Amino acid sequence: MARPATLDDKINIAAAVLTVAVAAVFWSQRSYTTEYGGTFADPVIIVLGALGLVLLVFGLLRRPVGRGTEVEEGLPVRGLVLAVALLTAWVAALPYLGYLVGGSSSSSSWRCSCARSGRPRAASSSTSSSRSSSSPPST
Amino acid sequence: MLDLLGGGLLANLAPSMLLLVLVGTAAGMAIGAMPGLSATMGLALLVPFTFVMEPTQALVLLGAFYMGAIYGGSFTAILVNAPGTPSSVATALEGYQMTKKGKSELAVVGATMGSLVGGLIGVVALVFLAPPLAEFSLRFGPQEYFWIAIFGLTIIISMASGSLVKGLIGGVLGLLLATVGIAPVGGEVRFTFGESMLQGGVPLVPAMVGLFTIPEVIRLVARKGREAQMISEREDRERLWPMIRLIFSRPVNLVRSSVIGTVTGILPGAGGSIANLVAYNEAKRSSKHPETYGKGELDGVVAAESANNATVGGGMIPTLTLGVPGTPPDAIIIGVLLLHGLRPGAELFTASGDLVYTFIIALAVSAVMMVPVGLIGGRALQRGVVAMPARYLAPGITVLTIVGAYAVRTSVVDVVIMLVLGVLAYFLSLAGISAAPIVLGLILGSIAETGLVQGLLTAQGEPQPWLTFFTRPLSLVLIALTVVSLAWPFVRAWRERQSHRTDTHPAETLGKD
């Protein structure tokens, strides 16, 4: 009897679906006008699609296929949204604010976001003291 | 020849020439350390300054700059996972892991010593083996270049430590990204999705910077600073001499990687971006403890840096003897030679022997000069980065990556591409698909496609053009190397299983005997 699907299995299935989708999108974009336009690209798309299907089968069979770096630690969704939003805002502001003003204001926002939102906890290991010394004051 | 070499050595010992080499090396290191500013770009920027110089001085300055720029790329690769040049991709794989473990100083010293040995071996090959090696490089046709790219792709097996399927998906994704834009042969526009900005393809440097650096920056902000260490706060402080002794205690890795770099540099169009990956792969394959690679292995840094600096001397072999640039920066050197009325070829070594040998010796002097400059400047940079709080480090790195991505084509589009690929790389890393195979595919994709299509075009007179990929002697050698590279990890695993079985059941094994 198959074991229940773990988060790893679900991530594998999602990655497989994404891979197959990317291959399908590129395949739909094929409109070569020369004889050798697709000589290299077509096999690459086919291999990518095939690998996606292999990963999908592994995911559905719930076989372990390596694992991501952050899965075991839990995904920091709020922080992730903040990080992507900050980066996007920085890049989007470049044409309007320029590199100097855009860079300065984005850096300031960034430093604020990196600051602690709570008081440092009591030292429980030798590393704690060095951590708190290099961290910004609590906000 | 020895007279000319002696003359070149004496010319290089003049204070003004030493100063020129020092300035060139230091400036090259500074440019190379900036993500996005490659050795090629730096050399191109430097050319106008050489107009007012004597040909010898101009070439010496450019040579020293080139050597320094290739080495300088290792600093940001090691310290913040942002390879300054494509030649430092493999350096980032191990160097940044060493930084995370608090061994960044050892990594910087390893890169310095590797660059020294690689640079010197490349120059020795240039002095003594230039004519036969240049002739040999001309035997490489499109078919061989295709197989070189395929051989390079087998490195994915080494990189895919978690899962082979996911490593392959990353590599093929990189190959697919390489097909975006104008085809290298035929000029067909493909996979642009109607966006004219994608006609130029996915630029390598912004993609590389985004794929490696942005996920680390996202991780740092998402986990609020110190919980997501970019670097270890507890840096291992060691004395310089024991570190140097440790690096030179593995001479085979140094020499092998330097030879790989020299040979790869000789092949026109290949260059340091391939050499560092091939040398890294060979170092891992021949290691007694390959499982330590990808987790901060000094030998990986040394291999990559020896190889990429050896391409400087190696690339000069076809450049000076045939006028065929071995690496992209060599094309600029050829331009400067022509600008000063010097034509590359065998007669260059006889008619302008004093100039050529002064230039060659200057490359060696530059390699030696990298050691004090790198150990002082590089270690100062390393200590500065390690001491910097995360709240300053993350925006600082982001500024560096944005400027680096913008600098290549002065285009905001490249910054957007860098960001999109960086965010994508973060999510792919959640699924266990790392950035390294994607970058590898992106680097090798255009080489493989050019080789494949050109090979088919040149063999159109044959009944089966594709058969030419399997019948040429050099192609067969490369196919054999590819098969060995593919099979080696499985053979090693099988042998380990066998030895483990023998270790755990010695009595049974003896009994059977």
What is the secondary structure of B190-213 as a DSSP string?
A: ES-TT-GGGTT---HHHHHHHHHH
User: Which residues of chain B make contact with A33, given a CB cutoff of 8 A?
Assistant: 188
Q: How many CB atoms lie within 10 A of CB A43?
A: 13
What does pLDDT average to over chain B? Answer: 83
pLDDT tens, position by position, A86-126? 888 888 888 888 777 877 887 787 777 666 555 555 444 44
* B412 in contact with A, Cβ within 8 Å: yes
Q: Which pLDDT belongs to residue B303?
A: 94
B182 — phi, psi (to 5°)?
Answer: -75, 130
Burial class (CB in 10 A: 0-12, 13-18, 19+), B196: exposed
pLDDT above 70 coverage of chain B, percent: 90
CA distance B293 to chain A (A): 16
Indicate the residue of B160, B430, B457 with minimum beta-carbon distance to A70: B430
Q: Which pLDDT belongs to residue B272?
A: 72
Which residue matches tokens 């690096």? B247
| Most confident listed range (A39-43, A91-95, B5-9, B190-194) | A39-43
pLDDT tens, position by position, B200-240? 889 887 888 888 888 878 887 776 654 445 555 565 667 88
- Taking the model in full, what pTM does it have? 0.75
More confident residue, B328 or B175: B175
Out of B392-396, B419-423, B432-436, pick the least confident. Answer: B392-396
Which residue matches tokens 């024991």? B242
Burial class (CB in 10 A: 0-12, 13-18, 19+), B350: exposed
Burial class (CB in 10 A: 0-12, 13-18, 19+), A4: exposed
> Is residue B306 within 8 Å of B258, Cβ to Cβ?
yes
User: Which residues of chain A make contact with B429, given a CB cutoff of 8 A?
Assistant: 68-70
> Is residue B91 within 8 Å of B305, Cβ to Cβ?
yes
More confident residue, B72 or A54: A54
Among A27, A34, A36, A100, which would you mutate to test the B interface (most chain B Cβ atoms within 10 Å of its Cβ)?
A36
Of the candidates B34, B23, B120, the one whose C-alpha atom is nearest the C-alpha of residue B74 is: B34
Q: How many CB atoms lie within 10 A of CB B399?
A: 18
Domain chopping of chain B, boundaries: 2-499
B287 has pLDDT over 60 = yes
Close Cβ partners of A17 (under 8 Å, ≥ 6 residues apart): A52, A56
State the count of interchain CB pairs (< 8 A) between A and B. Answer: 181
Mean pLDDT of A1-20: 83
* B232 in contact with A, Cβ within 8 Å: no
User: Which residues of chain B make contact with A21, given a CB cutoff of 8 A?
Assistant: none
pLDDT tens, position by position, B463-502? 888 899 999 998 999 899 888 878 877 787 787 778 777 7
User: How far is residue B339's CA from residue B55's CA, in Å, rounded to a whole number?
Assistant: 9
Q: Which pLDDT belongs to residue A101?
A: 83
CA distance A4 to chain B (A): 19
Q: Which pLDDT belongs to residue A34?
A: 83
- B429 vs A99: CB contact, 8 Å cut-off? no
More confident residue, B303 or B481: B303
Domain chopping of chain A, boundaries: 7-73, 77-121+128-134
User: Which residues of chain B make contact with A139, given a CB cutoff of 8 A?
Assistant: none
Which residue matches tokens 């994704």? B173
Indicate the residue of A47, A88, A136 with minimum beta-carbon distance to B172: A47
Q: Which of residues 99-138 of A touch B (CB under 8 A)?
A: 99, 103, 106-107, 110-111, 113-117, 127, 130-131, 134-136
Q: Which pLDDT belongs to residue B351?
A: 79
Q: How many CB atoms lie within 10 A of CB B491?
A: 10
- B176 vs A88: CB contact, 8 Å cut-off? no
DSSP letter (8 states) at residue B376: I
- B217 vs A19: CB contact, 8 Å cut-off? no
What amino acid is encoded at B327 in this protein? T
User: Which residues of chain A make contact with B183, given a CB cutoff of 8 A?
Assistant: 34, 36-37
DSSP letter (8 states) at residue B181: E
Q: Which pLDDT belongs to residue A21?
A: 96
Mean pLDDT of B93-112: 89
Close Cβ partners of B69 (under 8 Å, ≥ 6 residues apart): B28, B29, B31, B32, B38, B39, B42, B43, B85, B329
User: How far is residue B362's CA from residue B123's CA, in Å, rounded to a whole number?
Assistant: 10
A115 — phi, psi (to 5°)?
Answer: -70, 155
Mean pLDDT of A60-69: 74
Mean pLDDT of B389-409: 77
Q: Which pLDDT belongs to residue A126?
A: 42
